[in-house]
Every structure is written in C-alpha cells, then in structure tokens.
Structure 1
Amino acid sequence: MIAISRRKLLALGAIGATASVAIAAPWLSAASAQPAIDVSRSPSCGCCGDWITHMRAAGFTVNDRLVDDLAPLKAQLGVPADLQSCHTAFIDGYAIEGHVPAQDVHRLLRERPAAAGLAVAGMPLGSPGMEVDGRKEPYEVILFTASGRSVFARH
C-alpha cells in the first residue's frame, strides 16, 4: 500500500485542507459510515460529475476538487500510465482511478488488500458516469500494486 502524508498531498495542491482531514482521520466524517472519498478531476469533464453522483448515491461523502493538471497526483499515488482515466480519487489509503463502481470500492474497503488502489482504464460505456443510451461494453476493474496488478472485478 502506498503511504501518503497529508503534507505531501497539500504540497501537490491536489487535495484541499478539508479533504486532508478526511484522509488523515476518516472517522471524523459523521455524514457517512464510509470514510470520505476525495475526488480530483478536470473542470471540463462532465462524466466525472456523473461518477461523483453515483458514489454519493452509494453512501459515500465526496470531496470534489477541480484540478487543471492531474498528472502529479496520479504519479504520487502510483497510478500506472496505461490505467489512467479522467479523474483520480483517494479513500482510506487507496487510489481509485476512473469509473470504478461503488460496489467495488465498498468491497476494497471491506477486504483491505495490500494494494495501491483500483482502476478502470479509459472510459468504458456503461461504467458509472458513462451511461450513454443504455449502451454497455464489458470492462475490468484492476487492483494495482507497485509491482503488479490483477483483475478485481469484471462488469
């Protein structure tokens, strides 16, 4: 698992002071039984907002941060280049990259595997936030570590 201090995240400018408290002390989030999820996204991306709506509907408290350059955060969290997508989130020590379904984030937090995080590469149709005219394509949620990866879920 990647350990990231609140100071490093603040230095990156990717996570605001309120969000850093949620990372350092997730039990302070009284609005939800889950720790808060901190989402960094491009101001020009609409599907990211739809993914945030999906996460809120699943019971997560979401701290939404608009960021012009996500590359430093993705690098800091160890997100492999080929798994990157349009938004990056951080929850309870894990990176969540792209359109990962809330049910998989819940499972990750229950099982607590030794990993850097989960990713859905690209923007597959039918994934949360990418619902377009009922079209759906199969996709995988990848569990990634500093040294490898495995399929966490198939949808």
Structure 2
Amino acid sequence: MNRASLFFLAFFLPALPATAQQIEVHLSPTCGCCKAWVRHLEQAGFTPRVVESQDMAATKRALGVPGRIESCHTGIVDGYFVEGHVPPSDIRRLLKDRPAVLGLAVPGMPVGSPGMEVPGVAAEKFDTLVVGPNDQIRVFEKH
C-alpha cells in the first residue's frame, strides 16, 4: 500500500457513515407486535437479527432482564438489553451516551409505542426506563 492510500485510510474513512447498527431480537414466532417493532428498527437504520424462542421467560432470565419490567420481546445491542417496545431514538441515545447501565425497557405493551400502533386508537403516554446496576430503575425518556 502506498503512502497516499494510507493517508486516505487514516483521515477519510472515519468520516464515512458507519454501517447499520446490529441488534439481536429474541421474540416469540407467533407475536405480530414483535415483528412490527423489528420493522421500526429496520426503518430507523438498525439491522435486526431475529432469534425465535419458544420460552421467552427463560431467554429474559438468561439476558438479565428484571421480571418487573418485562414485555414481549428482548433485544441485545452492544451489551445492553432492550426490553419491549423501546423507540429506536432511545436506543440511539443509549448507544451514543454509553451509560454504565444494563439496558432499557418499556414494560408491558403500551398502545402507540413502536409496534403497538392501533389505527383509530389514541396513543398512551409511556416511559422508557433505564435499568442500572442492582436493578435500579429510573425514567430514561417520557413519550
């Protein structure tokens, strides 16, 4: 490789856009809202890898998701868990800020959250929670 090529690699490649962020999504094969959330991720520029599970409770335990914040599906991205219908913008903020936490969660299945849209039904207000060490839970973002 010549000097000009090394110069290009060292100074111009970091400015190129990064590839889509990969996220592993564990879900039940029969859950339609989980698949709708995956479509939201794709539209936001993530690259989901879907892992179908017949025992989501065991999957959540293995991934360290506290029972009191569970929802229907669980994502894993850069070592964080993403539980439930978390908006992609919240995931992006988590990955940008890189806090010392375990992950994000939208407990339950609030109507209007990504993947839980119901035509003709008003969206519910919901919070994205952040789970820290020792299962400390606080609000990360209000929606």
Which TM-score applies when normalising by structure 1?
Answer: 0.77
Q: CA deviation at 1:33?
A: 2.8
| 2:123 is equivalent to residue 142 of structure 1 | no
Change (3 A) 1:145 1:76: farther
Which has the larger share of strand? 2
Distance 2:46 2:21 in 1: 7
Q: CA deviation at 1:44?
A: 1.3
Tell me the secondary structure at the aligned position of residue 61 of structure 2. Answer: helix
The CA deviation at 1:77 is 2.1
Letter in 2 for 1:110: K
How far 1:122 sits from its partner (Å)?
Answer: 0.4
Structure 1: tracts of 5 or more residues without a match: 1-31
Partner AA of 2:132 in structure 1: T
1:97 aligns with 2:83: yes
Equivalent residue of 2:46, what SS? coil
Q: Displaced runs of 4+ in structure 1, greater than 6 A?
A: none
Letter in 1 for 2:129: I
In structure 2, list runs of 5 or more residues that go unmatched: 1-17
The Cα shift of 1:34 comes to 4.0
Structure 1 pair 34/115, CA: closer, same or farther in 2 (3 Å)? farther
Count of residues in correspondence between the two structures: 125
| 1:61 to 2:61 alignment | no
Q: Distance in 1 between matches of 2:31 and 2:106?
A: 16
Report what 1:122 is aligned to: 108
CA RMSD in angstroms comes to 1.5
Q: Residue 125 of structure 1 aligns to a residue in which SS?
A: coil
Residues 43 and 68, structure 1, Cα contact 8 Å, conserved in 2: yes
CA distance, structure 1, for counterparts of residue 113 and residue 91 of structure 2: 14
Aligned-partner Cα distance in 1 for 2:66–2:124: 22
Aligned with 1:76 (options 55, 62, 65): 62
Which one has the largest radius of gyration? 2
Q: Distance in 1 between matches of 2:138 and 2:99?
A: 12
Q: 1:60-98 CA deviation, whole Å, 9 max, x = no partner?
A: 001011110012221122211111011001000100000
Residue-by-residue CA offset, 1:2-28 (whole Å, 9 max, x unaligned)? xxxxxxxxxxxxxxxxxxxxxxxxxxx
The residue aligned with 1:37 is: 23
Instruction: Show the counterpart of 1:153.
Output: 141
